[in-house]
Structure 1
Amino acid sequence: MSIANLNRPADAFEQLETEDGVRQGVCHIRIQQRTGRKTITTVQGIGTEYDLKRIVQYLKKKHSCNGTIVEHPEYGEVIQLTGDQRDKVKDFLIKVGIVNESNCRVHGF
């Protein structure tokens, strides 16, 4: 085994570990166009240790929108909110401490 292999991380996701050693994935916040001017915001990648129902309930009340949790075969549980709520959701998730700012990606036009 060479010295170059010792410095390389053994796991590709090792760089996403937080200071306390718990792995945190990347949270994706996307906007999807529906019919006409209607849009929905989707949030994917929130850890399973968080209660998504309570998060959706808070976001619905705070931002006066409708929302639900959808089970996706590839991405797991995905939060859907009506309207363009990308910036508001990102600010909330970072403020509460659910995701780090470096692990939160906002997609869309």
Structure 2
Amino acid sequence: MVETEVQIPCAFDPFIDIKQDPDCCVGGKQYVHLRIQQRNGKKSLTTIQGLKKGVSYEKILKDLKKEFCCNGTIVQDKELGKVIQLQGDQRKNAFAFLTRVGVVNKDQIKIHGF
């Protein structure tokens, strides 16, 4: 009989980096999430979450409101940090604005919703 030494790998957790660093996402990239939330009837909100901490949220919000002719606010969330909320479905506009201004790259933005 031939003895072969076989090592059985221990339990591998592929999401260990994400659990240790909540700001880190798949592949070590930090993503900016653009989501839509339905309100009453046809009304909706667009949320922008995950911008870098060094970015001035107030200046970005001011420019977004001025360019898209909509209202908006900054909400402080316990788990998510600062989140920008805009009136209406502004996901495509926000994507174009954030990439044009140079706040984030195209591959760092995830658009969610219907």
Normalization by structure 2: what TM-score?
Answer: 0.75
Which residue identity does 2:57 align to in structure 1?
L
Structure 1's unaligned 5+ residue stretches are: 1-10, 17-23
Structure 2's unaligned 5+ residue stretches are: 1-16, 19-23
Question: Which of these two proteins has the greater Rg computed from alpha carbons?
Answer: 2
Identify the residue that residue 93 of structure 1 maps to in structure 2: 98
Which residue identity does 1:40 align to in structure 2?
L
Runs (4+) of structure 1 moved beyond 2 Å?
A: 11-16
Deviations 1:19-76 (A, max 9, x none): xxxxx51000000000111000000000011100000001101110000000011100
Size of the alignment, in residue pairs?
93
Shift of 1:15: 4.1
Of the structure 1 ranges 39-48 and 91-100, higher mean CA displacement relative to structure 2 is found in 91-100
Identify the residue that residue 72 of structure 1 maps to in structure 2: 77
**What do you get for the CA RMSD once the two structures are aligned?**
1.8
Q: Distance between the aligned counterparts of 1:48 and 1:87, measured in 2?
A: 23
Alignment of 1:21-100 (within 5 A): 25-100=30-105
**Percent of aligned positions with the same letter in both sequences?**
46
Normalization by structure 1: what TM-score?
Answer: 0.79
